[in-house]
Amino acid sequence: MTEPLVTRMRDFGTTIFAEMSALAVQTGSINLGQGFPDTDGPAAMLDRAVQAIAAGANQYPPGPGVLELRQAVSEHRQAHYGLTYDPAGEILVTVGATEAIAASVLALCEPGDEVIAFEPYYDSYAASIALAQARLVAVTMRPVEGRFTFDPDELRAAVTPRTRAILVNSPHNPTGTVFTRDELTAIAELCQEHDLIALTDEVYEHLTFDGVEHIPLATLPGMRERTVMISSAGKTFSVTGWKTGWVCAPPALVTAVQTVKQFLTFTASAPWQVAVAYGLRQELEWVSALRSGLQDKRDRLMEGLAAAGFEVLRPSGTYFVQTDIRPLGFTDGLELTRRLPELAGVVAIPTQVFYDHPERGRHFVRFAFCKKDEVIDEAVTRLKHLSA
């Protein structure tokens, strides 16, 4: 038999997350690789899901999503960002942000179109763009004064007549950067100058630290009408397994995305949608406490990694700390992370797998701090053996 997998997907095998999580299980290592918390979300919100199941919310919800959730998302966008979205035609519930991104790219990009993304980028971006038979054009983020950022001139040079969209992830996974207003303005100006669509992945919107503000690109002048704003409940409420996300955009863009989405999953997660609506309305104080706790965990892990000999970059958001491994005498993050269970009993993620130009990220390794304090402390104790 010839190779059964279509050509455009042959570069995509098992994800690095699956590989490293399996390695953690096989070796009994502490998993600071995949970004999922080891504690649950607000108890009252979890109870709402149970109540919804008991009340019979177990069949197909409406295609656009449960109205209660669409209304709650609309209220949230207005209250937090001053953005008005009509629940009846400008909000679409999806199976997590991953489906929202895939459906958006498939709906809005023709074969041969180009989509700009900032590398290192979350791995589903490249796969979604490949599925659409479009082309990813990577603009590299590099550390400048302790944070990853991009060169506006490099971004401008990446735009061609084939460019259809810019995919913007802020707060940014895997670097922890939260784009500044100046950085977002540079993106917005290009979108308007070249009539580009902005796809914004904002799943970590509430998880920023040190008083750093998350600014949605859609709030900038001229951007609401050309932005597909994507977020989800998973990171905000520590329920990553619920896979409940949403798209906010003008009617024509939402209609396009829903046209594709209905043939991917049709609809899903009725009880979770009811519970998330409750969470958006009633549990944002819990989210504030989560953010404060995560900042403490970030500092705890950063201090430990620095003591273990890593060069540590300070993230302003997300679940992740980036480290430079060269002070420890290592130069290849993929090689190190595959050996790390043996060397230290810890699993991490090599950042180079998120690059089109892997050599630019070969010396970075990502650690997740969305774990219990005792887990972080034990991981740090083990990692100190690297410099012993």
- Among the ranges 5-9, 17-21, 83-87, which has the highest mean pLDDT value? 83-87
Q: Check residue 278 and give its pLDDT.
A: 98
Question: When comparing pLDDT for 16 and 367, which is higher?
Answer: 367
If DSSP codes are grouped into helix, strand and coil, which group holds residue 144?
Answer: strand
Tokens 């609809």 -> residue: 267
- The pLDDT value given to residue 15: 84
If asked whether residues 240 and 309 sit together in one domain, one would say no
The length of the chain, given as a count of residues = 388
| Of the residues 281, 311, 341, the one at which a domain ends | 281
Strand partners, 118: 139
Output the pLDDT for position 13. 82
pLDDT at 2 over 90: no
Residue 147 in domain: yes
pLDDT (0 to 100) of residue 21: 87
pLDDT tens digits, one per residue of 289-333: 999 999 999 999 999 999 999 999 999 999 999 999 999 999 999
- pLDDT of residue 247 exceeding 80: yes
Residues 117 and 230 in one domain: yes
Whether the pLDDT of residue 74 is over 80: the answer is: yes
**Residue-level pLDDT at 388:** 65
Measure the CA dihedral 330/333/336/338, to 10°: -170
Q: Which of 287, 272, 282, 288 is nearest to 69 (CA)?
A: 272
Residues 83 and 229 reside in one and the same domain: yes
Tell whether 23 and 103 lie within a shared domain: no
Q: Is residue 52 part of a domain?
A: no
Evaluate if residue 385 carries a pLDDT over 90. Answer: no
Among 300, 279, 270, CA closest to 40: 279
- CATH number, domain of 270, equals 3.40.640.10
Across residues 349-370, what is the average pLDDT? 97
Asked if residue 49 is part of any domain, the answer here is no
Q: Supply the pTM of this predicted model.
A: 0.96
**1 in a structural domain:** no
Distances (CA, A) of 189 to 38, 202, 226: 40, 20, 12
> What value does the mean pLDDT take over residues 133-146?
97
CA 154/CA 46 separation, integer angstroms: 45
Report whether pLDDT(263) > 80: yes
Residue 15 is assigned to a structural domain of this protein: yes
- The number of domains in the chain is 2
Asked if residue 216 has a cis previous peptide bond (ω within 30° of 0), the answer is no
Residue range 175-179: mean pLDDT, rounded: 98
Residues 233 and 166 in one domain: yes
Q: Are residues 71 and 211 in the same domain?
A: yes
Looking at the structure, do residues 264 and 358 belong to the same domain, yes or no? no
Residue where a domain stops, chosen among 281, 296, 311: 281
Contact 199, 105 (CB under 8 A): yes
DSSP letters spanning 159-177: --TTEEEEEEESSPTTT--
Q: What is the mean pLDDT of residues 264-270?
A: 95
Radius of gyration of the chain measured on its C-alpha atoms? 20
Concatenating the DSSP letter of every residue in 304-327 gives: HHHHTT-EEE--SBSSEEEEE-GG
CA-to-CA distance for 137 and 165, rounded, in angstroms?
10
Same domain, residue pair 178 and 309 = no
- The predicted pLDDT at position 3 comes to 87
Average pLDDT, the chain: 96
- Phi and psi of 197, rounded to 5°? -90, 140
Q: Looking at 266, 281, 296, which one is the last position of a domain?
A: 281
Residue 51 belongs to some domain of the structure: no
Distance CA 273, CA 29 (A): 34
Mean of pLDDT values over 213-226 = 98
Helix %, strand %, coil % of the chain (to 5): 45, 15, 35
Are 182 and 97 contained in the same domain?
yes
**Which pLDDT belongs to residue 150?**
98
**CA–CA distance from 385 to each of 171, 374, 375, 382 (Å)?**
32, 18, 16, 6
- The CATH number that applies at residue 28 is 3.90.1150.10
C-alpha span between 352 and 196 (Å, rounded) = 28
Residues 325 and 247 both lie in one domain: no
Q: Which domain holds residue 292?
A: 7-41+285-386
The per-residue DSSP string of 109-136 comes to --TT-EEEEEES--HHHHHHHHHTT-EE
Mean pLDDT for 151-175 is 98
